[in-house]
Amino acid sequence: MIPEFNKGDLVKWTPDIDPAEHGSPQQSKAGILFGLFDHETGVELQSQYDASDVVVEALVQFDGAPQYVFLHELELLSKVKK
In a domain, 35, yes or no: yes
Domains contained in the chain, number: 1
Residues of the domain holding 39: 10-78
Residue 20, SS3 per DSSP: helix
In a domain, 38, yes or no: yes
Nearest to 31 by CA among 81, 80, 82: 80
Q: Return the higher-pLDDT residue of 40 and 47.
A: 40
Nearest to 61 by CA among 15, 9, 16, 26: 9
In a domain, 5, yes or no: no
Task: Give the tens place of pLDDT for each residue, 22-39.
Answer: 666 668 899 999 999 999
Cα–Cα distance for residue pair 82/69, rounded to 1 Å: 24
In a domain, 58, yes or no: yes
Model-level pTM?
0.79
